[in-house]
Amino acid sequence: MRAPCGSGFTLLVLALLTGCGAGESAPQKPAAASAPPSGVALSPEQVQALGIRTEAARAADYEASATGFGVIVSLETFAQAYAEVATASAAAAQSTAALARARSLASGEDAAVSQEVLDNAASKSAADQAALALALRKSEAVFGVHTPWRSAADLKRVLDRLAQGHTVLARVTFPLGALPQGQATEITLARIGRRAQGWHTRVTWPAPADPALPGRGFFALLDGSDLLQGEHVMATTAVGGHLSGVWVPQAALLLSEGDSWVYVGSAGGPYVRVRVEPNRPDAGGYVVASGTGIAPGQPVVVSGAGLLLSRELNPAGSGGG
């Protein structure tokens, strides 16, 4: 018998493998990168016909802030706390002085008062000190433990300013998570409403938590305002770094392709679409970082941006009007 032809079998296997390899697809060419917006060139007549209007961008400074709400504390609330602390403080001072006199009279062989009188004076002084501590704790329960006043005399000075209208006391609350550092060392208060005047203060301290109102609370003493007792106010405080950028009006923003854009004009040139990040709201618009393609004083389209986008994406179907 003859042995099987091994060389013929090997050639058959190689032919099959070669045929399979020939069917594999060639490496794909990388997709061409999408071209940046080329802009839309319009004649003055076309600008007028399409109703294109622009507004100048302007230089702006931006500082991220958190917004909360508050109310001006009534004078009655503060006066009640002062009355309790002042009354307890006066009683404690009187009994402490009486105890000192009793001790001086009860010393030596010729004591003028008995031990019982001395014990009663000591008991009265201790009770009055406890009453003063209670009044202070009650005040802390209302106004917190980090108040700028430390005595009844300090309270009296603040109360006088509140009564004369020179100062107001506000309690404000910021939403949970709005303050990354958990503090508001400077607060600006303003009446609720558009373009309302604001007043700034650095005299702030944490307020006790309010079970009925979740959030981070603070008290603020504010001088020189005309805010009224019981008036509701808006409060803002800085929470981020400072940015020097360019302000663009909200009407200039255009949503397309999952991004926000602004059409920017130039003297005699086309309207160019510029991508922006609308994450810094400010006074009816947004502040964008410098170097994004928008310069202070440059015109941005606030009316007709949608028509410009249509012409840019479909220049053949836009016609010549």
Q: Once rounded to an integer, what is the mean pLDDT over residues 26-53? A: 70
pLDDT of residue 321: 52
For residue 303, name the pLDDT band (cuts at 50, 70, 90). Answer: very high
What integer best gives the mean pLDDT of the chain? 83
Q: Once rounded to an integer, what is the mean pLDDT over residues 281-306? A: 89
Please list the residues that pair with 275 across neighbouring strands.
261
Q: Once rounded to an integer, what is the mean pLDDT over residues 102-117? A: 81
218 close to 231: Cβ distance less than 8 angstroms: no
pLDDT of residue 317: 61
Per-residue pLDDT for 142 more than 80?
yes
148 close to 162: Cβ distance less than 8 angstroms: no
171 close to 229: Cβ distance less than 8 angstroms: no
Q: Once rounded to an integer, what is the mean pLDDT over residues 59-81? A: 89
Per-residue pLDDT for 176 more than 70?
yes
Residue 180's Cβ-count burial label (10 Å; 0-12, 13-18, 19+) is: exposed
Both tokens of 9, joined, read 């079998």
CA distance 104 to 122: 13
CA distance 106 to 303: 92
The residue with greater pLDDT, 30 or 181, is 181
Per-residue pLDDT for 1 more than 60?
no
Q: Once rounded to an integer, what is the mean pLDDT over residues 199-215? A: 91
The residue with greater pLDDT, 240 or 198, is 198
How much of the chain, in percent, has pLDDT values that exceed 70? 84
Burial letters 62-97, b for 16+ CB under 10 A, else e: beeebebebebbebeebeebbebbbebbebbeebee
pLDDT of residue 272: 93
Q: Once rounded to an integer, what is the mean pLDDT over residues 119-147? A: 91
pLDDT of residue 127: 96
CA 6 to each of CA 1, 11, 18: distance values in angstroms, whole numbers, following the listed order: 15, 9, 19
The 8-class DSSP code of residue 74 comes to: P
| pTM for this predicted structure | 0.58
Among residues 109, 62, 23, the alpha carbon closest in space to that of 236 is found at: 62
Identify the weakest region by mean pLDDT among 18-27, 34-43, 75-84, 255-264: 18-27
pLDDT of residue 105: 86
Q: Tell me: the pLDDT tens digits for 233-242?
A: 999 998 877 7
Among residues 282, 142, 126, 129, the alpha carbon closest in space to that of 207 is found at: 142
Q: Tell me: the pLDDT tens digits for 210-221?
A: 888 889 999 999
Other Cβ atoms less than 10 A from the Cβ of 283: the count is 12
Residue 169 parent element (H or E):
strand 167-174
pLDDT of residue 22: 42
Per-residue pLDDT for 168 more than 90?
yes
The residue with greater pLDDT, 91 or 19, is 91
Identify the weakest region by mean pLDDT among 13-22, 30-39, 91-100: 13-22
